[in-house]
A and B are shown apart, each in its own frame.
Chain A
Amino acid sequence: MKTTILLGILGSLALVVFIRGSVMHRETGTESARLTEVDFPAEVKAIIDQKCHGCHSVDGKSKDAKESLMWDSIPEYPRVKQLAKLNDIIGVLDDGSMPPEKFIEMEPGAKLTKEQRRILKSWAEQTADELLN
């Protein structure tokens, strides 16, 4: 009788360990499939902090800006969404629509220099290529 109970307890313990192990394994599995490294090198981060972060972060005041892009959230997105955001970023760097004309009128310092535009764009393109491969 005692042995049966003991065996039962041991058996269920083993089962619990096994299930937890496989669940954890699965979680780390999806984790690595979903989260890919989007790194912000110091040079890129400095530009983003200086020129974009004012609106495109939790502290931003424009709902539109926050809905369109939150820089800090990019690393947490699924890979397809990361790519979509990078594609959008490349798009606005190409057509010059960001930072918005109206905002620059108020704060001329917000304008991206040619060099900053180039650095951001090549970072976005390179990161997108890495995510695609």
Chain B
Amino acid sequence: MKVLKTALFILALFLAVIQFIPDRLPENVADNPGDMLNSGAVPEQVVAILKTSCYDCHSNETHFPWYSRLAPASWLMAKDIREGRENVNFSEWNGLSKRDKIGKLESVKEEITKGEMPLPVYTLIHRKARLTPEQVSYLAKWADDMANEILK
């Protein structure tokens, strides 16, 4: 019993201490005039999928859950969100070159088709973010169509 108490105490102390290590969670931006969805050209069904399954990491509008401020969850999230925004940030879409837009849309198609996105660690907690096979083929087709549209 004493051993258990000591172990719990050490664990609590450890958790308390790591809270002081900066998490580097990226900030949200409220106003995103360059957001892809502002154009109104994206079909509603796609908007819904993107918002539910992609926007937490691939936009400036992340929904931070309560545990996102707690280490060590915050570290993991900070890394994934940072990398996600770096690769594709739909909130800063309009500033991209045509070439970049096409490249990113083709990546969207590839990643979701291969099942590499959304990240399994994310869908494990966010069950609603999981894409059904129908959603995958719908989104992949939309991405490819939009890339071809940019080419015209």
- Is B95 part of the binding interface, using a Cβ–Cβ cutoff of 8 Å? no
- How many residues of chain B get a CB closer than 8 Å to chain A's CBs? 12
Q: Is B106 within 8 A of A84, CB to CB? A: yes
Q: Which residue of A lies closest to B149 (CB)?
A: A80
Q: How far is the CB of B140 from chain A (nearest CB, A)?
A: 12
- Is B113 part of the binding interface, using a Cβ–Cβ cutoff of 8 Å? no
Interface of A is mostly: helix
Task: Kindly supply a per-residue 1/0 record for chain B positions 69-109, scoring 1 wherever the CB is within 8 Å of any chain A CB and 0 otherwise.
Answer: 00000000000000000000000000000111011011100
- Is A79 part of the binding interface, using a Cβ–Cβ cutoff of 8 Å? yes
Q: Which residue of B lies closest to A125 (CB)?
A: B99
**Count: A-B pairs, CB below 8 Å:** 33
Q: Is B103 within 8 A of A88, CB to CB? A: yes
Q: Which residue of B lies closest to A90 (CB)?
A: B99
Name the A residues within 8 Å of B151 (CB-CB): 79-80, 83, 131-132
- Is B137 part of the binding interface, using a Cβ–Cβ cutoff of 8 Å? no
- Is A81 part of the binding interface, using a Cβ–Cβ cutoff of 8 Å? yes
How far does the alpha carbon of A80 sit from the alpha carbon of B100 in the complex, in Å? 11
Name the B residues within 8 Å of A87 (CB-CB): 99-100, 102-103
How far does the alpha carbon of A128 sit from the alpha carbon of B105 in the complex, in Å? 16
How far does the alpha carbon of A81 sit from the alpha carbon of B151 in the complex, in Å? 11
Name the B residues within 8 Å of A80 (CB-CB): 102, 105-106, 144, 147-148, 151
Interface residues of B (CB under 8 A from A): 98-100, 102-103, 105-107, 144, 147-148, 151
Interface residues of A (CB under 8 A from B): 79-81, 83-84, 86-88, 128, 131-132
